[in-house]
Amino acid sequence: MPKVNFSPARDGFQFGNYFVNQIANVPGIGKLQTAGRCGGMSYCVLDHYVAGRPVPGFKASDFGDKGVPPDGHPLADYIYQRQLDSFFTLSAVKFVTWSLAPDSGNFLVHGVRERTRKEEFKKLREAIDRGMPVPLGLIVARNLNDLGRNHQVVAYGYDYDAETQHMTVYIYDVNWPGQEITLTSGKDDAVWFESSPGKEQWRGWFVQDYAPRHLPPDLARPLAEAAEQQHRKAGCERGGHAEHPEHDEAGNQDLPATEPVGEHADHRRHDDAGKGGRRRHPPGEGVGLIQGVEDVGQGRGHQRVGQDAGDGDGEDEQQRRARHHQRR
């Protein structure tokens, strides 16, 4: 079973995907929210792996009832930016096209099942054999309304039985921190079975384009220190003396990505002025390949909209897991 030197327990985050994203506040309706940043967490983990740096060692208990770093902390903001980056790739359009495609193909079009087994598994094997883990887009939706049920993970190994044509993919799923999880599918299986406690089933998956970014230096900043800096910055802005540092508020630099992987690795976004790099968006700003796609993989594979998306005061880790799993 070929694997790269990646371990979910060592190289993944020690907290789960419990982020809440504030999209808008609609009069008469309330807050529009989505839950989860699976793509951002996956890309952030890969950035650390490529850089040879450990991820910040925060645990869910470090963040109180919410279980994740708060917006305004450098790590939360960087994960949000990487969530957006994961959709500004050409391969991300497959979240839409594959959700609308049939499971089985015909003489006109290939189905999701055939594409996964014949095209994407080959790409995965090639990447793993080169020693590089890759992000995967997992497909379960069958229409545009369910795009938020799709998901993103990191694949770091595979196994293939040529006699039975049974396929196994080893993944780090940010919804289940610290666990080695597999996706498996037999020759005649219509779906891919995930071995996580949620027992998810997926129509198929594809290898996402990915290019690493230079990591900001302050992602592991202590919470109290980060909160104090944010407070000082807010005070300066209220007083009409807003700071204009070289870095953004999370300490991030807009450095170009390097060493891309994926079938569209040469694709680069450019800002409005035509210069290389990516425009940064504050956490909560609704931006995506299309509006619906931004919700892919939110909160155990589900989009959640409404005032209660962030509920959970007083919950422990086990209660949070149960609440998120009930959304399926």
Task: Collapse the DSSP code of 184 into the 3-class scheme (helix H, G, I; strand E, B; otherwise coil) and give the result.
Answer: strand
pLDDT tens for each residue of 161-190: 999 999 999 999 999 999 999 999 999 999
Strand partners, 155: 134, 171
pLDDT tens for each residue of 95-104: 999 999 999 9
Domain spans, the chain:
8-325
Q: What is the pLDDT of residue 290?
A: 36
Q: Are 236 and 243 in contact (CB under 8 A)?
A: yes
Q: What is the pLDDT of residue 306?
A: 37
Q: What is the pLDDT of residue 200?
A: 96
pLDDT tens for each residue of 208-231: 999 999 999 999 999 888 666 666
Q: Are 170 and 180 in contact (CB under 8 A)?
A: yes
Q: Say how far apart CA 92 and CA 97 lie, in whole Å.
A: 9
Q: Bigger pLDDT: 254 or 55?
A: 55
Instruction: Write the CA distances from 269 to 94, 248, 281, integer angstroms.
Output: 18, 19, 14
Q: Say how far apart CA 169 and CA 205 lie, in whole Å.
A: 11
Q: What is the pLDDT of residue 14?
A: 97
When the pLDDT of each residue in the chain is averaged and rounded to a whole number, the result is 79
Mean pLDDT of 61-80: 95
Q: Bigger pLDDT: 267 or 162?
A: 162
pLDDT tens for each residue of 38-55: 999 999 999 999 999 999
Q: If residue 33 lies in a helix (H) or strand (E), which one and from where to where?
A: strand 30-35
Model pTM greater than 0.85?
Answer: no
* Confidence category of residue 274, pLDDT binned at 50, 70, 90: very low
Residue 305 has pLDDT above 90, yes or no: no
Tokens 């079973």 identify what position? 1
Q: What is the pLDDT of residue 68?
A: 96
Mean pLDDT of 247-260: 44
Q: What is the pLDDT of residue 313?
A: 44
Tokens 């990487």 identify what position? 82
